Amino acid sequence: MTEPDSTAGTDRTAGTDRTAGTDRTAGTEDLLRRHAPQVLGALVRRYGHFGLAEDAVQEALLAAAVRWPADGVPGNPRGWLIRVAARRLTDLLRAEEARRRREETAAALAPPLPDGGAPGESRVPSEDDTLTLLFLCCHPALAPAAQIALTLRAVGGLTTAEIARAHLVPEPTMAQRISRAKQRIRGVPFRQPLPEDRDQRLAAVLQVLYLIFNEGYTATSGRALHRADLAREAIRLTRRLRRLLPREGAVTGLLALMLLTDARSAARTGPRGELIPLDEQDRGRWDRPAVEEGCALVEEALGQGPAGPYQLQAAIAALHDEAGSADATDWPQILGLYDLLVRLTPEPMAALGRAVAVAMVHGPEAGLTEVASVEDRLAGHHRLDAVRAHLLERAGDAEGARAAYRLAAQRTLSVPEANYLRMRAARVR
């Protein structure tokens, strides 16, 4: 083996510097993504003015993205962002009030400086501002669809395109929905983490947390199957919500569902990031403490009043996680739970899940009949084609299965899912 010359050594050092810079930039992006909802929640709780606060936070995030990789992350990154965003919000409010000839009101909105501490840092409120923001976005003045869309954007950090795909609507339609929602709550004050009308908002809050988790567990687009930051944040917020509402069966059920589902994360991808379906996963890699906690929460949730959709989905997840192998899964009991679930919710994905359970209990032909019954509600969705392909393959229709797998691969925007579906098409015999 020959030794590298000096030029190669120099190149290697430069490459190391470039890699370190890339790592710092990626670390900064993760940090900003994690803190953005909390910073926005802090500003909205203090000042209201949702739209202007969002603009101010975006400018603070841009400033941090430029300065932190070069200067280093401050000791209190969230406090730094709140301070910079609050100053920018004050400028925006002053400009708006000046146009209305109310400069004196805007002058009183200047953010207080911290009492001591390092420059660029600010004291952060003890309450969870992200949860505060979550309830604000679910304001009763907004329609349920607008509540969910606005919260996914402000709290979940999802793009408009991702939210549109989750709701099966065109992106321009979702952009208009979010814009109208911001205008509707413009200037609405909000100062309590649990408002008096929280019962009216709780259903929307839970649905939003569920959608954020789903986007984290299986990203609708991109090269990564799993967005762990979103999944973790959804679980954290749901834990926080359960501490506030410990006797709400729906909250307990949703937390159980998230834990039982996320427990499989480590086994869902192979060494090259490829998707591994549930029935092929190494169950020894599942997070057993999370499974145990989730199963205990399911029992608790089912004892907290009539079972709703989240409790039933959590019970289904528990049956999957408790099975020692795919063959040991109690499909008849899962089908019984799906029968209850589809009576409670009009969601077509619940009906699609039931079609799989029907196939596992009564055969693939019976499952295909159930798939056909929801085709009009899921037309063009890749999951419908993927389930149909799987059942056609089990029924022995190789040509039909290949065509359905390929169609599903064309329709998904997730690279790992598309690769998996194309691989399944190639394997059909």
**Which of 83, 29, 95, 31 minimizes the C-alpha distance to 57?**
83
Residue 275, φ and ψ in degrees, nearest 5: -75, 135
Could you say which DSSP state residue 74 is in?
-
Of 3-17, 34-48, 69-83, 174-188, the one with minimum mean pLDDT is 3-17
Q: What would the mean pLDDT of 107-136 be, rounded to a whole number?
A: 50
Mean pLDDT for the chain? 82
DSSP 185-253: TTT-----SS-TTHHHHHHHHHHHHHHHHHHHHS-SEES-S--HHHHHHHHHHHHHHHHH-TT-HHHHH
Asked whether 302 and 280 are in contact (CB, 8 A), the reply is: no
Q: What is the pTM of this model?
A: 0.72
Q: Please give the helix or strand (H or E) that residue 413 lies within, else none.
A: strand 413-414
Of 261-265, 303-307, 406-410, the one with minimum mean pLDDT is 303-307
Q: Residue 214: pLDDT above 50?
A: yes
Specify the higher pLDDT residue, 1 or 153.
153
Q: Could you tell me whether strands 221-222 and 413-414 are parallel, antiparallel, or unpaired per DSSP bridges?
A: parallel
**Which of 224, 206, 202, 203 minimizes the C-alpha distance to 215?**
224
Asked whether 107 and 100 are in contact (CB, 8 A), the reply is: no
Q: How far is CA 207 from CA 87, 185, 231, in A?
A: 34, 20, 14
At 225 the pLDDT is: 86
Structure confidence by residue, pLDDT tens digits, 69-118: 878 888 888 889 888 888 888 877 777 665 554 444 444 444 443 333 33
Q: Determine the Cα–Cα distance for residues 62 and 312; give it in Å rounded to an integer.
A: 43
Q: What would the mean pLDDT of 331-352 be, rounded to a whole number?
A: 96
Specify the higher pLDDT residue, 143 or 277.
277
Residues of the chain above pLDDT 70, percent: 81
Q: Which residues pair with 275 in a beta bridge?
A: 269
Q: Residue 19: pLDDT above 50?
A: no
Q: Residue 196: pLDDT above 50?
A: yes
Asked whether 48 and 185 are in contact (CB, 8 A), the reply is: no
Q: Could you give the angle at which helices 309-322 and 249-262 cross, rounded to 10 degrees?
A: 30
Q: Determine the Cα–Cα distance for residues 177 and 147; give it in Å rounded to an integer.
A: 9
Q: How far is CA 397 from CA 5, 33, 97, 254, 403, in A?
A: 60, 46, 68, 38, 10
At 333 the pLDDT is: 98
Q: What would the mean pLDDT of 211-233 be, rounded to a whole number?
A: 85
DSSP 285-341: GS-HHHHHHHHHHHHHHHTSSS--HHHHHHHHHHHHHH-SSSTT--HHHHHHHHHHH
Would you place residue 344 in the very low, low, confident or very high pLDDT band (cuts 50, 70, 90)? very high
Would you place residue 189 in the very low, low, confident or very high pLDDT band (cuts 50, 70, 90)? low
Q: Which residues pair with 413 in a beta bridge?
A: 221
Residue 16, φ and ψ in degrees, nearest 5: -65, -40
Q: Determine the Cα–Cα distance for residues 65 and 46; give it in Å rounded to an integer.
A: 24
Angle at 172 between CA 168 and CA 178, to 5 degrees: 85
First to last CA, the chain: 48
Q: Determine the Cα–Cα distance for residues 38 and 81; give it in Å rounded to an integer.
A: 10
Residues of the chain above pLDDT 90, percent: 42
Structure confidence by residue, pLDDT tens digits, 39-77: 887 877 777 677 778 778 888 888 888 888 878 888 888
Domain boundaries, the chain: 17-107
Up-side HSE of residue 35: CA atoms within 13 Å toward CB?
A: 23
Could you say which DSSP state residue 396 is in?
T
Highest mean pLDDT among 104-113, 218-227, 365-374: 365-374
Asked whether 281 and 224 are in contact (CB, 8 A), the reply is: no
Q: Determine the Cα–Cα distance for residues 251 and 47; give it in Å rounded to an integer.
A: 29
- Residue 374, C-beta contacts closer than 8 angstroms, at least 6 positions apart: 348, 351, 352, 355, 384
| Tokens 């890749």 sit on residue | 382
Q: How far is CA 386 from CA 170, 182, 379, in A?
A: 22, 37, 12
Phi-psi domain of 396 (left: phi exceeds 0; alpha: psi -120 through 50; beta: other)? left
At 134 the pLDDT is: 81
| Tokens 């010359």 sit on residue | 5
For residue 251, count other CB atoms closer than 10 A to its CB: 25
